Amino acid sequence: MRVRNALVFLGLGAALAVGAPAVTAQAAPSGCSSWQTSPTFAYGVCNRVPQGDAWRLGIRCSDGDYDWSAWKYTTQRTSLRCNNSGAVITHHWIDPAN
């Protein structure tokens, strides 16, 4: 029993000495929303964007196209539209970078 306990503590000590990579929690953008103002036009915004983080607006159009805005690193609102004739937005969302 003593030998087993010694081996367990030796293994635990070695694992702690080597160390596991530390994972730091990063805050994601918050207060995000997207909305449509017409069948072909959508807006998106995040009210809080921690430094170094980002978000983007995404849409899917009825013709099967997907489109995303450039990554946004501030709370500045952005917009997208379906570009092909007759296509309308079927889905809109916010993608956080993390």
Phi, psi of 72 (to 5 degrees): -110, 130
**What per-residue confidence (pLDDT) applies to 98?**
79
Q: What pTM does this model have? A: 0.70
Give me the number of domains the chain comprises: 1
Q: Is the pLDDT of residue 65 over 60?
A: yes
**What per-residue confidence (pLDDT) applies to 4?**
52
**What per-residue confidence (pLDDT) applies to 8?**
46
Q: E-strand spans in the chain?
A: 30-38, 41-48, 55-61, 66-68, 78-81, 89-96
Question: The CATH number of the domain where 41 resides is what?
Answer: 2.60.40
Phi, psi of 74 (to 5 degrees): -135, -175
Alpha carbons 68 and 7: distance in angstroms, whole number: 54
Identify the DSSP state of 12: H
CA angle (36, 48, 76) in 5-degree steps: 55
Q: Which domain holds residue 51?
A: 26-96
- The answer to whether residue 5 sits within a structural domain is no
Q: What is the pLDDT of residues 12-45, one digit of tens each?
A: 444 444 444 444 455 678 999 999 999 999 999 9
